[in-house]
Amino acid sequence: MSDETLRALRGRVKAVLKQRLTNLLDTSTATGVLSDDEHRTIYALFQVIADDREFPAAELKTFVNRRTEETPGVLDAYRRSVILLDSATWKTKEFAKRRFATLTFEERDRVLHALFRPFPHEERAPLWLRDARLPPYRLSLLLETGSRRVLRHHVMRELLTWYFTTERGWAVVGWTDFPGKARPE
């Protein structure tokens, strides 16, 4: 194989990997808002992944509505996630075909564990993986497919990132005076 062919092949592989690592949303789909039922499912998911049972549902709804109304593809991602979560409970005898939002906190967590295998943050990954620019989340992004990929890498990621920039999220690391205040000198 000539150098030129090899270079072209490398370029194609790189392009496929890049697309795989970046494209999560189907931006040809419509914007809009979720139904109340769908919002209930997203809130039920959010409570578990944020480990926060008291977070105001209305505040989350405002955030999700803004995202689904403003950015093409996001509404579709949330809808596909709701369908996936409900179908995951349907497939499990234990939950007797109940909707995801009607499960207890612990049951919902078990559904998520059945869907996804947890992995550590890249700072806790072996150095060689980071040097290879293949931290665990990138590997997961490459390996997950379909609605599971959208739920894990768009919806859950977006909800958690948002949560940890709110007052309640920052409180996890002791920021009780969010968003700022002169520190005691």
Partner 1 sequence: MNRARTRRAEVAVVGSGPLGAAAAKVLVEAGVRVTMLEAGARPTPDRFAQLERALRHEIPWQFQPWTYESVGDDVALNTFALRMLGGSSLAWGAVTPRFLEADFELNTRYGVGRDWPFSYAELEPYYCEAERLMGVAGGGERPWWPPRSEPYPMPAFPMSRADLFVKDACDKLGVPLVSVPVARNSVPYDGRDKCVHYAACRACPNGAMYASDQTVRALERSERFELLLGADVVRIETDATGAARRVIYVRREDGLEHAVEADKIVLAVQGIETVRLLLDSGIGHGSGLLGRGLMEHPKFYMIGRVNAVLDAHRYGFETATTLLFHDHPKRGEHAGGRMMVREGAGPGPADVAMTSGQWGRALKDEIRDLFGKYVVLGAFLEQLPYEDNTVTLSSTLKNEHGRPAARVALSLMREYETRGYEAMKRQMTRIFDALGAQDVRVLMQPSVGGHYMGTHRMGNDAATSVTNADLECHDVPGLYLASQGAFPTGGISNPTLTGVAITLRMAHRMLRR
Residues that bind partner 1 (CB under 8 A): 48-51, 109, 112, 116-124, 127, 130, 135-137, 140, 156-157, 160-165, 169-170, 172-173, 175, 179-183, 185
CA distance linking residue 170 with residue 101, whole number of Å:
26
Smallest distance from partner 1 to CB 185, Å: 6
Provide the 10 A C-beta neighbour count for residue 73.
Answer: 19
CB nearer to partner 1: give 29 or 137.
137
CB nearer to partner 1: give 48 or 60.
48
CA distance linking residue 83 with residue 22, whole number of Å:
23
- Decide if 33 contacts 65 (C-beta within 8 A): yes
Smallest distance from partner 1 to CB 118, Å: 5
CB nearer to partner 1: give 93 or 121.
121
CB nearer to partner 1: give 18 or 130.
130
Nearest CA-CA partner of 59 in 162, 146, 141, 149: 162
Smallest distance from partner 1 to CB 140, Å: 6
Smallest distance from partner 1 to CB 133, Å: 12
Smallest distance from partner 1 to CB 51, Å: 4
CA distance linking residue 49 with residue 92, whole number of Å:
20
What are 103's two structure tokens?
């499960």
CA distance linking residue 58 with residue 55, whole number of Å:
9
CB nearer to partner 1: give 93 or 124.
124
